[in-house]
Amino acid sequence: MTTAPTRPQFDARPPAQRPRPSAPAAVQIDPIRILRQHVWGIAAAAVIGIVIGAAATVVLQMVYPLYSGRVVFELVPAPDEVGDVIVRDQRTEEAVERLGQTEAARIKARTLLMQAMSRSDIVQTGWAQGFIDSSGNFDLNKAVDELEEDLGASHMRRTNFFALNWSTHASADVPVILNAIADTYLEVRRGEDNARFEQNRGTFETQLNRLDQDITNIGNELRKFVEENNLTATREDRNEKLIRVEDTGMQLTQTQSQLTFAESRKLQTERKIRGEIEPTPDDVRRAEEDEQVLRANIRVQELLVELDTYRRKFREGHSAIRSIEARLKAAQNERDMKLQEIIRRNLNADFKEFSDVVESQLAVREKFMAEMALHTTGLKDQAAALAKVEELKERRERLLEARATQLQILANLAQLKAREDARAVSIAQRAQTPRELSFPQYKVMLPLGGVLGLALFLGVIFLRELLDTRVRSAADLAVMQGVRILGTVPELSDDPVAPSKVERAVFHAPRSVIAESSRQIAGQIAKISAQQGLRTIGFLSGLPGAGTTSVVSNTADSLAAGGRKVLVIDANFRRSNLAAAMGVQPDAKGLGDVLHDKATLADAVRQTGGEVDLLAAGTPADRVYELLSGPRFDKVLAEALERYDIVLLDLPPAVVAGDALAVANKIDATVLVVRAMQEQRGLVGRLVGQLSDVRGKCMGVVLNRPQGTAGGYLRKNYEAMATYSAKS
């Protein structure tokens, strides 16, 4: 498969002004390639993990079995009225969750656990036997210490339930321990409820006894007052003045009642102002309806909306979010201060209002008293006595009403105490003896073993990929800055056509994948050469064995097939293989002989077939490396360009032979051949950088012999290319 150029066209700037290539910042990994490359290993790792999981399950079932159980409690809503048959739950979800979490914490209290573990049946369990000390006594503190660590209690979201969970090694111990804790918890809870009921009932009974005593005292006082003032027959012979006196007395009584109410409200308001009692919800609600508080609430809501918008727009911790949070906190503080200010202002206003009412009622009372004084001369004492009688009767009626209320409250308390649904918590499900192990379980351990096996295997292969810096595929070159990929040449064994050899595959096996890949590479070289006027091109590698000779031979045949007259020069004096690859006598006259003036270029050039001629390395005695950097070599190149359209040079590896860069400084361009799975990415980057400083600028990289198993992509493309060529 050939990869199209991935970089801009050839850079004609001077070497000092060109960007230097560099290695990629991070290793690029193709996960699909890696997974397909190790598909059997992945399957084996999963199977081995499952087998290990099964074995671990068997071992753990013998040495560390666990049985789990739980008790479920229900948070029962309290009835609004004693006579309610159906109780409606009007609590908010937040309130229920908070209550559930509170009760879950209470059930794990150490004092409660100590009380539960003190039951006689606990010592008989197998779990308790593990806490028997050397003297044969049950170590309660140590047992409770372990329970505090192992017990789990939590509220079940979006329900009225919370659960108590526990696990142990003996299934029979699970219901004994859990139900003991549950029963103890309910007993403690019931005791607290009963104590609260008794405390409330005692308070109301004390108030009832006080009311009874007040009623008795008022009755005695009324009876004694009537007898002392001889008021038994006043209703039969009262005259008009008496009626007017009685009317005035009634009005005076009403005024006194209103005055008492106003004074009570005034005193209550004064205590609120002094902070002795808290403002009532009505006081708070009335303050919240104030325009200033409403504006402050609107501002807080606006900031909350703005904060929500910023949180969706920015990440947490952004300066804008911190700013709006600070403004929101300031606005909330300002609102709370304004609320307190309005409450105090309203209380002061109420205090003034009630003070005015008191003063007004005092004035009215004085008025009625003055009128009574005017209308009563002889009946003054009688009218006063009648007013006193009415006042005592009214006080007695009020006390009787209060007594009836207290009796109703006591009756309601008794009924609430008798109702089971008045209890805040009840057991919805008691703990049962578990029939199956909670740990280990095959349905958990087998998948877990498989996942762990896969994770371990994948971690190893991906770590190996990360640590391996060799060039494996074209993707490794594509991410390197300043590297142009001219194409790839497949491994000989990956070619479906199966040519006999890689060298001159274009000439001998033109339908092979290697030939097609070479033609695509030659097309890239021809296009760049035509655009930039490049005629002398050298092929070199970093390390020996990269396949430079085969790439040169196939590129030459591809360019010649396009109508160009091509000369191939073997400039690798150290290991000359090009002549043998092109089918020419290796030790015949060649470049070395021409450089020593022992032969002319025309005499040394050999025909290889088609439009490709070869200038071999020459006789071994005349292969002097230093001559490649001399002026005679320049003349040879100039003479070759007069006879041929393009000259290709096979150069030695740059890492082991310095003459490769010397020759590169005399030609128009170079092509770097990289052997897959051999050369490091850092070496490729360094070589491309070195070539950018010589005359023969690096026009691109050819990746040779990448593994066809790389995710399956190359092999499929090779098969498609071979099939298409066979049909043409």
Buried b (16+ CB within 10 A) or exposed e, 264-297: ebbebbeebbeeeeebeeebbebbeebeebeebb
Residues 356, 294 within the same domain: yes
Residues 160, 288 within the same domain: no
Q: Is the pLDDT of residue 21 over 70?
A: no
Residues 54, 111 within the same domain: no
8 Å CB contact between 53 and 450: yes
Q: Average pLDDT, stretch 273-298?
A: 83
Residues 644, 545 within the same domain: yes
- Domain residues for the domain of 125 are 67-190+425-429
Q: Average pLDDT, stretch 325-335?
A: 85
Sheet strands side by side (includes 67-75): 152-155, 161-168, 67-75, 425-429
How far is Cα 103 from Cα 95, in angstroms, rounded to an integer?
A: 12
Residues 128, 107 within the same domain: yes
CATH number of the domain to which 180 belongs: 3.30.1890
How far is Cα 513 from Cα 505, in angstroms, rounded to an integer?
A: 9
Would 222 be classed as within a structural domain? no
> What type of residue sits at position 695?
R
8 Å CB contact between 509 and 470: no
Of 486-495, 512-521, 613-622, the range with the lowest mean pLDDT is 486-495
Q: What is the mean pLDDT of the chain?
A: 82
Residues 110, 145 within the same domain: yes
Residues 113, 235 within the same domain: no
Would 202 be classed as within a structural domain? no
The CA dihedral of 487, 493, 497, 498, to the nearest 10 degrees, is: 130
pLDDT score, position 318: 83
Kindly state the DSSP code that residue 317 receives in the 8-state scheme: T
8 Å CB contact between 437 and 67: yes
Would 522 be classed as within a structural domain? no
Identify the sign of the CA torsion 409, 413, 418, 419: positive
Would 472 be classed as within a structural domain? no
Q: Which two tokens stand for residue 597?
A: 């003036």
How far is Cα 28 from Cα 390, in angstroms, rounded to an integer?
A: 103
Listed residues 417, 450, 467: the one ending a domain: 467
Phi and psi, residue 181, nearest 5°: -65, -40
Residues 176, 269 within the same domain: no
Q: Nearest-CA neighbor of 392 among 230, 222, 256? A: 222
8 Å CB contact between 711 and 493: no
CATH number of the domain to which 653 belongs: 3.40.50.300
**How do beta strands 536-541 and 152-155 pair?**
unpaired
Residues 119, 75 within the same domain: yes
Most confident of 45-54, 358-367, 649-658: 45-54
Would 722 be classed as within a structural domain? no
Would 671 be classed as within a structural domain? yes
pLDDT score, position 15: 47
Q: Is the pLDDT of residue 18 over 60?
A: no
Residues 55, 71 within the same domain: no
What residue has token string 């095959």? 442
Q: Is the pLDDT of residue 662 over 70?
A: yes
Of 93-107, 208-222, 378-392, 693-707, the range with the lowest mean pLDDT is 378-392
Q: Burial of 470 by CB count in 10 Å (0-12 exposed, 13-18 middle, 19+ buried)?
A: middle
Phi and psi, residue 569, nearest 5°: -110, 130
How far is Cα 115 from Cα 105, in angstroms, rounded to an integer?
A: 16
Would 454 be classed as within a structural domain? yes
**What's the pLDDT band for 660 if we cut at 50, 70, 90?**
confident
Q: Which two tokens stand for residue 87?
A: 């109780």
pLDDT score, position 78: 74
pLDDT > 70: percent of the chain:
87
Number of folded domains in the chain?
Answer: 4
Biggest CA-to-CA distance, the chain: 171
Would 8 be classed as within a structural domain? no
Residues 389, 242 within the same domain: yes
**What's the pLDDT band for 464 if we cut at 50, 70, 90?**
confident
8 Å CB contact between 546 and 673: yes
Residues 448, 546 within the same domain: no
pLDDT score, position 536: 93
Q: Is the pLDDT of residue 567 over 70?
A: yes
